[in-house]
Copies of this chain bind each other. A is one copy, B any other.
């Protein structure tokens, strides 16, 4: 039955995850190489569980906020440390606290950058409206952006 597809027992092929999150198989294998993912196997083939999928979501969000993969790995270990190697996580704790402060600073930078880029765009649009109104962007373009956001997973920063 189709409901199976929603049940947490469900597994994913590499291709399925790639399509869902718009990444390449190469990227997933790379993350595995670097210790961020560890899917089980069916023979040679990778089998991704729901937990693997959740980890991948965290990885991609980490990337979107600018974290290097090495640090994302540590954070994932922090999550995964149910009760075992608390000592080792303790060692990283100070660094994580530091990172939090950095991220809060980054958020302020981001707000400021958004404000300024917006106002710069509006300035140009006004100038453009006076000189060449025909070149002004159509509302349809913004529709497309909004639809893209509702798809959930945003595009990477370096997207063309």
Report the copy number of this chain in the oligomer. Answer: 2
What secondary structure prevails in chain A residues at the interface with B?
Answer: helix
Residues of A within 8 A of B (CB): 61-62, 64-68, 75, 78-79, 81, 83, 86-87, 89-90, 93-94, 96-107, 109-114, 117-118, 120-121, 124-125, 127-128, 131-132, 135, 137, 141-142, 145-146, 148-149, 154-155, 157-158
Q: Which of B68, B110, B135 lies in contact with A103, CB distance below 8 A?
A: B110
Known: A61-B112, A67-B157, A97-B141. 16 other contacts (CB 8 A): A65-B109, A81-B124, A86-B127, A93-B124, A94-B137, A96-B120, A96-B121, A97-B137, A97-B142, A100-B118, A102-B154, A103-B113, A103-B117, A105-B154, A106-B157, A110-B110
Chain B contacts for A111, CB-based, 8 A: 107
